[in-house]
Amino acid sequence: MTALDIARLRAETPGCAHVLHLNAAGSALPSQRTLDATLDHLKLEAEIGGYEAAAKAHDQLEGFYPAVAKLIGAEASEIAFVENATRAWDLAFYSLDFKPGDRILTCMSEYSSNYISYLQVAKKTGAEIVVVPDDNHGQIDVGALERMIDKRTKLVSISHVPTQGGLVQPAEAVGRIANAAGVLYLLDACQSVGQLPVDVAKIGCDFLSMTGRKYLRGPRGTGFLYARSATTAGIEPIFLDNHAAKWTGDNEYTLRGDARRFENWERYFAGVIGLKVATDQANELGMEAIWARLRELSEGLRARLATLKGITLTDLGQVKGAIVTFSVTAADHLALKDKLRQQAINVTVSTQFSSRLDLKNRGLVNVMRASVHIYNTEAELDRFVAALDAARS
């Protein structure tokens, strides 16, 4: 595994000169290469026209699919460009035909957007939501999952890395159980792809949704959906247009045979190119090297925070990743975030609005969240912890 050149990575990331950015789990700092690729295409559209620019950039646009496929161990035909992770997830979830009594198995740490969708579908169809309990590590109890899955289970759906902490769910173990039962498995990977090695063949998921703006360091308004060809080819998307299907007769249409049936004809073409470039960079650096650096930084940050009185670390799981969460005794977390931002230090606050079951179950109204990326340094962690300590007094 090749060591990362941190000085070079920082020099190639314009934002490092302006902010101490510990909000990669919200939206990471893009590289100059990604920024240039995105802006260059927008300029080309302005100069020669949007359709003409897309035609000229055909090879770059087509290169998006194999780049993403390489990153997650998929086939290019199993990848669709979608404008964000939530829409990618929605396209998979709402395309399933739920019936009364069908069961949706999910986890305690599930994200609010996904859970709202479960509630809506349950209300409309009579499907049931079943929350699998956590084990003593605070991650999904795979033994309980195996006992709870049955013939009525239509879907197993979890978030790989939740928004509110460093927990990395045992996605492969979940996949083995879902696959053995012949149940579809939808994985929300918006915080994991780009942070840690993700191999869809090893995980066994049928669908995987992802955003561009977080750990992949792509533009906002970009993302993708992976649809496993062996198990999802017969699933028709809830939305179709003349890119997803062809109007083959007055009263007939024919679906595309690949995952691009989940795409729109109109999309953010500059974003496709920007996300392709960001994905290329992740592939070039190597996910093992990126994951090793992120664990080193996050463990270092947790160790520093643990030395401060009144700070309680709140991350769960046997495996902890690059999202570091904590509570500060007798402090207003939102006010602390604002104080830090005034010093060009970016963190955020996770609330029950986004992770109600988990945080409420642990008696937490909200937690502070600092999420590192490869361009961060140990000196920045020292600066952050010192600023946090001063800001709360």
Q: State the pLDDT confidence band at 1, using cuts at 50, 70 and 90.
A: low
Q: What gap in Å lies between CA 131 and CA 205, rounded to an integer? A: 19
Percentage of the chain exceeding pLDDT 70: 99
pLDDT tens per residue, range 227-283: 999 999 999 999 999 999 999 999 999 999 999 999 999 999 999 999 999 999 999
Q: What gap in Å lies between CA 216 and CA 373, rounded to an integer? A: 10
pLDDT tens per residue, range 69-78: 999 999 999 9
Task: Report the 10 Å Cβ neighbour count for 100.
Answer: 9
CATH of 6-29+286-391 among 3.30.230.10, 3.90.1150.10, 1.10.3720.10, 1.10.1040.10:
3.90.1150.10
Q: What gap in Å lies between CA 31 and CA 39, rounded to an integer? A: 12
Q: What is the pLDDT at residue 3?
A: 85
Q: State the pLDDT confidence band at 312, using cuts at 50, 70 and 90.
A: very high
Q: What gap in Å lies between CA 176 and CA 173, rounded to an integer? A: 5
Rounded to an integer, the average pLDDT of 376-389 is 98
pTM of the full structure: 0.96
Query: Where in the chain are the domains?
Result: 6-29+286-391, 34-284
The crossing angle, in degrees rounded to 10, of helices 112-125 and 85-93 is 20
Q: Distances from the Cα of 116 to the Cαs of 90, 189, 244, 356, in angstroms?
A: 11, 18, 27, 11
Q: State the pLDDT confidence band at 2, using cuts at 50, 70 and 90.
A: low
Q: Which CATH architecture has domain 34-284?
A: 3-Layer(aba) Sandwich (3.40)
Q: What gap in Å lies between CA 73 and CA 64, rounded to an integer? A: 14
Q: What is the residue-averaged pLDDT of the chain?
A: 97
